[in-house]
Structure 1
Amino acid sequence: MRYTLPAIALSAIALTAAAAIGAPQMGKPTAELKAAVAASTRTPANVARDKYRNPAETLTFFGVKPSHTVVELWPGGGWYTEILAPYVRKGGGTLYAAAPWPNGVKGTQTLQAKDADLYGAIKLAAFPSAEGAPSVPAGSADVVLTFRNIHNWKMGTTDRSAEAFKQIFAMLKPGGTLGIVEHRLPESADPAREKTSGYVKVSTVRKLAEDAGFKFVAASEVNANPKDTADWKDGVWTLPPVLRLKDVDRAKYEAIGESDRMTLKFRKPNPGVRGG
């Protein structure tokens, strides 16, 4: 199904309104979450990126609690893992690191080898699912989080994004939350750029989630960057932290900062609760 221009325009208006309405109701980060963000165990280079990634505000918007079973998809080197692990550890929750098996979880295993007390309880799982590999049990997660991964699922010769959302839906409990942060492509841009630029349209992400059965809850502009025009020849990797062009116009791209990002919250319907 293709979105017509009027539908895209209405979607953008609705998202802007949701963000404007939802922003004052986001709530303030709890003391527990602030402590996790301020933990001395975090890598200094990761801490330096807080001004772009806004972890306390983002996790508060998603409603992540320390008692939750949380699934972090494709955690890479563990930027968010360094915050989530101590957060759920003190609250009695469970953290899954779910990534392509087995190489995708090597970053988490490195953290576990570095500090077994802090990271040893993280459960490793395959995502996408793989025969013979551990998985996140169906209907077990309170929250699934994905940070700047959807463009990876869409790139290449095979678009794996629809299957990814289907598997995410299966992981969550009824009423559970899917939290998404992704590089944002303007709605007016050529959709073919989603395959090459690292940016994805909000309408594309919403359609993927809603086709999988999710209900849209709210959008936040906490990770927006109006300086990012999203039209770089070398895609999102032109900007920090990658800076693909190295010293070419480096000061210009550093002044822009990291990418403009959508922050979207979805819910898996709960038939047993009024309003789902």
Structure 2
Amino acid sequence: MRRVLPTSAASFSRRGALIGALALAACGRKGEAEPKPPAAKAARNMTLQDAVAGEWRPAADKARDPWRHPVETLEFWGLKPGQTVVEFWPGAGWYTDILAPYLAANKGKLIAANLEPADPASTEIVEAYRARLKAKPKIYGDVEITAFGPTSGPVAPAGGADLVLFLRNLHNWMAAGIAEKAFRDAFAALKPGGVLGIEEHRAAPGGVQDVLAADGYVQEAYVVRLAQEAGFVLDKTSEINANASDTRDHPFGVWTLPPVRLTAPRGEPADPNFDRAPYDAIGESDRMTLRLVKPAS
């Protein structure tokens, strides 16, 4: 059985997840002029590779591409021109910076099911995301912002989405007790035959899954079971985002690793004497990449 950190469930509550997301959101660029899409790519012919290479993406985000493999991952999930895509909890917009320009240039649509603004922290995250999109309308196009949370309604019109994405957020929803709701809401949003793409920090198989995912890792079999209970069928899996160097046994959970790089428990001051070298050497976490399908009938 894998080790579960001796951290109280309260410290990984929904509010804690929101505050952590806010800290990451604050790392985004501000006050920059809107870059112009290259003339040859401004109409409908932007490729996924063009979007990933886009000058509007922060350098710090591009530096993570070797770990997150956005082109290969989105191709695995089947992203195509003209699709309607729902991105749950987009955070500071790492994947939005790829999805929104690509879909806007190819007659598609992005729906961002953001945090449910239930407190000042979550409201600030949502408003920062909204401002980011508003600052560069020629790049992002018309992104529709909805909400996902404990009391939220539909994230998108029923049966209208081609692709729904859960991007390294399932552990947060487990901590908040809304993981099952996420799968139900995704299932309702998708067309018959539509795809749910999941990227999530992967726990070692075997043993009992911590239902709060206090260290940020989730067993692949557990994720598949939650999806199947909501009606999804597992189509295929990929090792695109695997990292065999991730031992998963870190003092501050998955957040010890890049990009968060904690040196002390959440809520405590950073420890300047903490040796980051072995964790930076691991890189980003070992992650499952799943493609699940809503049955056509």
Q: Is the 1:128–1:167 Cα contact (8 Å) retained in structure 2?
A: no
By percentage of residues, which structure has more helix? 1
Q: Aligned residue for 1:260?
A: 286
Mapped pair 1:140 → 2:155 = no
Mapped pair 1:227 → 2:253 = no
Aligned-partner SS, 1:106: helix
- Give identity over the alignment, percent: 47
Q: Is the 1:193–1:199 Cα contact (8 Å) retained in structure 2?
A: no
Normalization by structure 1: what TM-score? 0.82
- Displacement after TM superposition at 1:234 (Å): 1.1
Write the mapping of 1:195-214 to structure 2, written as runs, cut at 5 A: 195-214=213-232
Q: Aligned residue for 2:148?
A: 127
Given the superposition, is the C-alpha separation of residues 129 and 270 from structure 1 closer, same or farther in structure 2, using an over 3 Å criterion?
farther
Q: Aligned residue for 1:218?
A: 236
Mapped pair 1:251 → 2:277 = yes
Aligned-partner SS, 2:201: strand
The unaligned stretches of length 5 or more in structure 2 are: 1-44, 118-122, 264-269
Q: Is the 1:129–1:135 Cα contact (8 Å) retained in structure 2?
A: no
Q: Aligned residue for 2:42?
A: none
- Displacement after TM superposition at 1:113 (Å): 2.8
Q: Distance in 2 between matches of 1:54 and 1:241?
A: 15
Q: Aligned residue for 2:77?
A: 62
Q: Aligned residue for 1:73?
A: 88
Q: Distance in 1 between matches of 2:217 and 2:248?
A: 7
- Displacement after TM superposition at 1:110 (Å): 2.4
Normalization by structure 2: what TM-score? 0.76
Q: Distance in 2 between matches of 1:46 and 1:87?
A: 17
Q: Aligned residue for 1:46?
A: 61
Given the superposition, is the C-alpha separation of residues 181 and 162 from structure 1 closer, same or farther in structure 2, using an over 3 Å criterion?
same
Q: Distance in 2 between matches of 1:129 and 1:143?
A: 22
Aligned-partner SS, 2:47: helix
- Displacement after TM superposition at 1:45 (Å): 0.7
The unaligned stretches of length 5 or more in structure 1 are: 1-29, 272-276
Aligned-partner SS, 1:185: coil
Q: Distance in 2 between matches of 1:261 and 1:134?
A: 28
Q: Aligned residue for 1:168?
A: 186
Q: Distance in 2 between matches of 1:259 and 1:43?
A: 21
**What RMSD over aligned residues (CA atoms) do the two structures have, in Å?**
1.9
Q: Is the 2:46–2:102 Cα contact (8 Å) retained in structure 1?
A: no
Q: Distance in 2 between matches of 1:107 and 1:73?
A: 16
Moved over 3 A (4+): 128-131
Q: Is the 1:68–1:142 Cα contact (8 Å) retained in structure 2?
A: yes
Aligned-partner SS, 1:125: strand
Aligned-partner SS, 1:70: strand
Q: Distance in 2 between matches of 1:261 and 1:142?
A: 23
Q: Is the 2:46–2:105 Cα contact (8 Å) retained in structure 1?
A: no
Q: Distance in 2 between matches of 1:174 and 1:134?
A: 17
Q: Distance in 2 between matches of 1:269 and 1:134?
A: 20
